[in-house]
Amino acid sequence: MASIDVVIPVLNEEQALPGCIAQLREFLGKSLAEHQWRIVVADNGSTDGTLDIAKAAAHAHFDQVGYVHLDVRGRGRALRKAWLESEADVVSYMDVDLSTGLDAFPTMVNGIVNDGYHVAFGSRLAKGARIKRSPKRELISRAYNMIIQGMMQTGFKDAQCGFKALSRGAAQVLVPAILNNHWFFDTELLVIGEKRGFRMLEVPVSWNEDSDTRVKIISTVTEDLKGLARLRFRGIPEIVPPASL
């Protein structure tokens, strides 16, 4: 039996969070019954009732739900804190809107626990993925991932799907090497992981676009391009994959 932390990074998500927690508790209870799992709400700078909801859920389901809080915003920053403070065998995260189909999550967990992968991640661009999103978002996503492959000579197909899992050992090595604390965190994790020989599992997922997305496309693309330039010209950190979980 392995222990698994499922982190939900949130910023002003008082409307979406209760349903997310309820749906996840039901799914994980059925699909990962052989493991010990916990949902961790990682609140980064919310100014609405998000933190109160997280605290109430943790109080009501203390064995299944926890939370961490940061006053400063940044999805990468929230994941950094939750993952590095975790004592679980596997650390993971998914977006609060649950746009990515949960049926792929056990495959990712089993890839790490049973097959020895260091990193497992959902992919909307891998063969077998089923996605529903606007042509604009589809074009931007494919163009961005082509830029990554061209600049960094990487083999993975989708860097930014909000659906990732790492062994605890991999997280303890990889996360401190990541400099970005925002949206580029995901890309930086995968680029460093692949370039430094971490065993990577890309899992095709089903995905439905959330019309209420908080991603600001122009500023996010600008941040990502700056991050890629930094990795390309300043180099990849010299780290070594862990021998085990």
Residue 75's CB: how many other CB atoms inside 10 A?
24
Active site residues per annotation:
186
Q: Burial letters for 150-188: b for 16+ Cβ neighbours within 10 Å, e otherwise?
A: eebebebbbbbbbbbbbbbebbebbbeebebbbbbbbbb
The domain total for the chain is: 1
Q: Is residue 244 part of a domain?
A: no
C-alpha to C-alpha distance for 35 and 174, rounded to whole angstroms: 24
79-137 pLDDT per residue, tens: 999 999 999 999 999 999 999 999 999 999 999 999 999 999 999 999 999 988 788 88
Q: Is residue 54 part of a domain?
A: yes
Q: Is residue 239 part of a domain?
A: no
Owning domain of residue 229: 3-234
Q: Is residue 240 part of a domain?
A: no
Radius of gyration of the chain (CA): 17
185-216 pLDDT per residue, tens: 999 999 999 999 999 999 999 998 876 655 66
pLDDT grade, residue 68 (50/70/90)?
A: very high
